[in-house]
Chain A
Amino acid sequence: EMQLVESGGGLVQTGGSLRLSCAASGFSFSSHYMNWVRQAPGKGLEWVGRVRGIADNYATDYAASVRGRFTLSRDDSKNSVYLEIKSLRTEDTGVYYCTRDRSWDDAFDLWGQGTMVTVSS
């Protein structure tokens, strides 16, 4: 069964840091770009960023709202993707989803259950 499992969320004070992890199983992880999408409580979906594969030198793209504070990385040997978050703000509160990106249409065809990040002042 194809699966994405996020971990690492929790309660953090403003200005703090977190490292979210996403473990993939059941598919060829290295063949896919991987994304993070977040959702503030009661709000819509917001694309956070994407990390490409080895053929693209693991290049990353970010939403403007997180650029400079968030860092995406991946370890294909561990079938995992990571999201390092620094200088957390209250507006970073929400569920963070890891998603698989299909190469031919860039649709997100596999989602994890998400990990909750709560930033408290």
Chain B
Amino acid sequence: DQQVKQNSPSLSVQEGRISILNCDYTNSMFDYFLWYKKYPAEGPTFLISISSIKDKNEDGRFTVFLNKSAKHLSLHIVPSQPGDSAVYFCAASGSNNAGNMLTFGGGTRLMVKP
């Protein structure tokens, strides 16, 4: 099932710089998108979401951009901090799903170097 793809398995960024994590989807019925952060031995932690009626949502250092025509979303973290080092998952759901099922990407491991 490749409906949600994160093509970069890992990303290394210097502290203070911008981190850009990318996600592509194929299912045009998806209309709600989320980013989660995951540390080892913990569950995914919700970071930020965006619905398809918007193209940008911002929360502190985190901004999510949605390009519906390209079926692409990205998460920008600025400035990046060493504590941001984790695996980041994008996830998507469609309002046509009665059960609000989330479809996850495979994750990108972000390493922020001091």
Whether A associates with B in a native complex is no
Which residues of B are in contact with A by a Cβ distance under 8 Å?
none
Which residues of A are in contact with B by a Cβ distance under 8 Å?
none
